[in-house]
Chain A
Amino acid sequence: MSTNYQLKRADFIFKNENDWEEVLSKSISRPPQELINELISSELKGRGGAGFPTGLKWKVSSEVKSDVKYVICNADEGEPGTFKDREILSMVPFKVLTAIAICGYVIGAKEGFIYLRGEYNFLRPELLKAINEFEYYCKEIKLDFSIKIFMGSGAYICGEETALFESMEGKRGEPRNKPPYPTLSGYMGKPTVINNVETLAHTYTIFKYGSKRFYDLGVQYSRGSKLFSVSGDTPKPGIYELELGMSLSDFVEEFGDDDTKAVQVGGASGFLVPRKRFSETNIGFQGKLVGISLPTGGSMMLFNSSRSMYNVLDNYLNFFAEESCGQCTPCRVGCQQLLKGIKAVKRGEKNAQYLDKMLKLAETMQVTAKCGLGQSVGNSFSSIVENFREEMIY
């Protein structure tokens, strides 16, 4: 354990307070606008990784006129290195259920869904029990709201919100064109709020303690705490709730094994940060902070000097080439080209300058791909190739 311990731990999400009935009944006795304002002033941003302001999402959906609306909890936790949502759903399911129902109350939805990742099938029985109990209470307090579980089938792309809708509608899981956005036209073409499991759990905290408790944590543009799934070359892998805005060097100080060469922030679709940039990198959403801010869905993978960054990249690209939905050209073909390209360079079939051509391709993928998957392949590719170029060649 390091001596100059800088990390600020928080303990909201997993605190088992067992007061969800009270939080629910109190919240739905407040006007929806007040709850939205509470969320907006908390500055909570989506915890799935993209960081869209949650309050705004709820506000837009609440303003759309429609008889039918939906709330969907995105539990398709598929980003490599992320495993926090699983824990939330098994440890504190009622917080999530409560948040879904409050959201339903706010926007005017009577139905909520949990889109549960196929591999999390084992969570289903307990979750169903919780839903039963929850719905029973809803009936008691005369709240017309039901929650269903929809099982995913294991495709990474179905964590993308519009692909998730397609999947729920019984179609092939392919992202849609945006606009229209889900807040206007989501599941079954109806206004839909779709939030990550953790985001919903945070709204519980906010509704319970008020926005200030949440806002006081973290730094400007990145308020509140966040769960981190720490894995890789670390003596203490696991899930930690930390305040946002910490510097990566503090993080490595705490979780590294004194030989950390690089940290992958945000999973396969995130950025690789080499040791020399630890101190100037902060974990949080992009804003006007000094230095680099990297958002993350929670995945923090540490690599020590025994790791080949070529192998890491090869692994990521294999993942993307497999998990792209195959719909749009930049992603479908681009992933294959990047994967085959680094192999060709490694084998000497292409010269080192080919890496530069691929960096340009990665840029094109970032600006032309249809959804977040294709747009973010370039993140890990460029950050790894630029920082560990020699490992790619030799």
Chain B
Amino acid sequence: MPKNYFMGKNLKITINGATVEVAKGASILDAAGQAGVIIPTLCYHKDLCVAGNCRVCVVELVGQKRLSPACATPCEEGMEVLTNTLKVRNSRKHIIELLLSEHNADCTSCYKNGKCELQSLASEYKIMNQDFINLIPFHNYTIDMFSPSIIKDDSKCIRCQRCVRTCAELQGVNALTMSYKGEHAKITTFFEKAMNDVVCTNCGQCINHCPTGALVEKNYIEEVWNAIADKTKHVVVQTAPSVRVGLGEELGFEPGERVTGKMVSALKRLGFDAVMDTDFTADLTIMEEGTELLTRLKKALVDKDPNIKLPMTTSCSPGWIKFIEHMYPEYLGNLSSCKSPQQMFGALVKTYYAKARNLDPANIISVSIMPCTAKKFEANRPEMHDSGYRDVDLVLTTRELAIMIKQAGIDFLKLEDSHYDRLMGESTGAGVIFGATGGVMEAALRTAYELVTGREVPFENLNINPVRGIEGIREATIKIENTLKEWSFLEGVELKCAIAHGLANAKIVMDEIKSGKANYHFIEFMACPGGCLGGGGQPLPTSPEIRARRAAAIYAEDAGMPLRKSHLNPEVVKIYKDFLVKPCGEMSHKLLHTKYTPRKRR
């Protein structure tokens, strides 16, 4: 349906007696939002299609015996809606009671305690005495803890299917589905295997959309506390670009607040021995990946090497990596061989950093704070031991870090700002924008264009706006002109780029490549909607508006940085001088590049 189909066609309804004018096609829930009437919801989520199955949002329509779900009922001219009648309240209360009777309401020992949407509804409706029969003992529920990223506890599931819709609509993975019927209905994986054994990318979007504690990240908080308390260990922490624009939400700030300095102070107070920045290795990734791209282009365009795979795609997002390994294993050669910034950092901490600080790498524990649950899986990959040790020992999500800060009794709002520690703590604006969809592309273009032409990218203030935005798939073409002599083979080449975020969009782009319809040179893929800032480890709730505010914060952070291009990062310059020698050199290949594993589709 064309976007402007409803324009100018408004209709009037009344909600609790007050008239509201809404666009045709709006649901009662939309209208209520407009009228300032709050209707409780559970299965409804702004990111997902309407299911209308929890029935918590039922409202009364004058003249109808049955109640209607506000989320799934379109407004009709003259409709009279009542949201607060005895019938509505009693029905909602019944439904919440029913949900509680099939939910393992063991709130005090639940990881989601205080963050659970069912819990807050129960509290709102003051369900004081649970008369209904507890249905938990009648079911043989299991807790799936095999995945290094995700814990799935069926006893806490309320069958709202938000996870199912997330996995299907946003990610196109369909790892989770509804199976059985009636009293046996539950959310399962393929043949009820463990999440670890099915086609699951560990992206954690199901966690982000689960209203209860049925899907949560596997947390490593105690392990990190133990490491910090161990005096024989040197605990290093790195923080991903998008953590700084999300963390504040968990600690009293509005979405979109940048808390970089406070976060560094908090990490120091928690007792980490060194607080450094994943942005540094993001800049390093640009050096490596940019060089790799230019090398591939040269081999393809000049040497006509048939073994060179184009388009080259980014490899920063571990959810995307696992996705392509399962779904398009024949395209693994198109992936950049660069490790993700997290893993580059891990490999360098136990080599470069250890050497510089004169530490025994065996005594270093490397912790990372990530917006992501797939990073937990990534750190666990057997190939990620290039330093001779496990490169990244423990991965925490933004949410887990917030829990630690609260546990430590730190009043985050009152914290002073601090700076990252030296050696691997310096970054540029290019590293920061890795957190937003299109950011890796923009950062790469800033450096690659300049490398090839000796001039800055021809965009005002270095803001390459064509690659920014929220559309699921974006394309941009940049013409390379007046190259430096050694890059003359690129003269006049139109560099075709594409950006996709959300694996469902990645699937569309990959299918286009497979069918030969698309002929890009370079593609940025991010598993999560909005890129890392919408990652599976970011604060809850998530919505398109919240992600837009985080994105604005990321670009504001970039704009405020003195350095905006990865190759100008003085610590990057230093590491090539002192340690790595040159991008894509021998040392880089040992520590910063990796291989991928073809996996089955089932």
Chain A residues in the interface with B (C-beta under 8 A): 155, 157, 172, 174, 177, 179, 320-330, 332-337, 340-341, 344, 350, 354, 357, 360-361, 364, 366-370, 375
Contacts and interface: CB of A to CB of B under 8 A. Distances in A.
Given A337-B133, A368-B55, A375-B66, A324 B95 contact: no
B39 to A, nearest CB: 14
B183 A328 contact: no
Contact of A337 (B90, B101, B178): B101
Closest 3 CB pairs of A and B: A326-B185, A333-B98, A177-B72
A382 B407 CA distance: 52
A335 B182 contact: yes
A364 B90 contact: yes
A335 B183 contact: yes
B181 A323 contact: yes
A327 B133 contact: no
Contacts of A366: 66
A119 to B, nearest CB: 16
Given A327-B159, A341-B133, A368-B55, A321 B94 contact: no
Given A326-B181, A326-B182, A327-B185, A332 B159 contact: yes
A335 B66 CA distance: 18
B131 A321 contact: no
Interface string B68-103: 010011100000000000010011001100110110
Nearest to A327: B53
Contacts of A327: 51, 53, 159, 161, 178, 185
Given A329-B53, A367-B87, 11 more contacts: A172-B178, A322-B182, A323-B181, A324-B183, A327-B161, A328-B55, A336-B135, A337-B133, A344-B133, A368-B67, A370-B52
Contact of A332 (B65, B69, B90, B185): B185
Contacts of A321: 182-183
B515 to A, nearest CB: 23
A179 B74 contact: yes
A228 B418 CA distance: 82
A330 B98 CA distance: 7
Given A177-B72, A335-B183, A329 B99 contact: yes
A364 B91 contact: yes
B69 A354 contact: no
Contact of A323 (B50, B73, B161, B182): B182
A65 to B, nearest CB: 15
Given A322-B182, A322-B183, A367-B66, A357 B131 contact: yes
Contacts of A357: 131
Provide the main secondary structure of the chain B interface: loop
Contact of A177 (B58, B69, B101, B132): B69
B138 interface: yes
Interface in B325-346: none
A325 B181 contact: yes
Most buried by A among B50, B53, B73, B74: B53
Interface in B154-206: 158-159, 161, 178, 180-185
Contacts of A370: 52-53, 55, 69
Nearest to B179: A172
B556 interface: no
B91 A367 contact: yes
A169 to B, nearest CB: 15
Contacts of B102: 332-333, 336
Contacts of B161: 327
B55 A330 contact: yes
A324 B67 contact: no
A332 B183 contact: yes
A360 B94 contact: yes
Given A177-B72, A341-B133, A333 B138 contact: no
B423 interface: no
A361 B135 contact: no
A367 B85 CA distance: 14
6 contacts: A177-B69, A329-B54, A332-B102, A332-B159, A368-B55, A375-B66
A329 B182 contact: no
B98 A329 contact: yes
Most buried by B among A157, A321, A326, A368: A368
A341 B98 CA distance: 13
Contacts of B159: 326-327, 329, 332
Contacts of A155: 181
A350 B66 CA distance: 30
Nearest to A173: B181
A375 B65 CA distance: 12
Contacts of A326: 159, 178, 180-185
Interface in B132-147: 132-133, 135, 138
Contacts of A340: 133, 135, 138
B24 to A, nearest CB: 13
Nearest to B131: A357
B98 A334 contact: yes
A157 B135 contact: no
Nearest to A180: B74
Nearest to B185: A326
Nearest to B102: A333
B268 to A, nearest CB: 47
A52 B132 CA distance: 36
Contacts of A330: 55, 94-95, 98
Contact of A329 (B55, B131, B183, B184): B55
A51 B95 CA distance: 29
B561 to A, nearest CB: 48
Contacts of A334: 98
B509 to A, nearest CB: 26
A317 B602 CA distance: 38
A373 B138 CA distance: 23
Nearest to B90: A364
Contact of B99 (A157, A320, A333, A361): A333
Given A330-B95, A333-B102, A368-B58, A177 B52 contact: yes
A366 B55 CA distance: 12
Nearest to A177: B72
A328 to B, nearest CB: 5
Nearest to A320: B182
Nearest to B96: A329
A364 B135 CA distance: 19
Nearest to A178: B72
B132 A337 contact: yes
A297 B576 CA distance: 81
A320 B183 CA distance: 9
Nearest to B56: A329
A354 B87 CA distance: 20
Nearest to B93: A364
A336 B91 contact: no
A325 B182 contact: yes
Contacts of B98: 329-330, 333-334, 337, 361
Contact of B50 (A177, A335, A367): A177
A179 B50 CA distance: 13
B183 to A, nearest CB: 5
Contacts of A323: 181-182
A339 B431 CA distance: 59
A354 B131 CA distance: 9
Contacts of A177: 50, 52, 69, 72-73
Contacts of B135: 333, 336-337, 340
A341 B131 CA distance: 10
A324 B182 contact: yes
A368 B178 contact: no
B42 to A, nearest CB: 9
Contacts of B53: 327-329, 370
A330 B42 CA distance: 14
B67 A332 contact: no
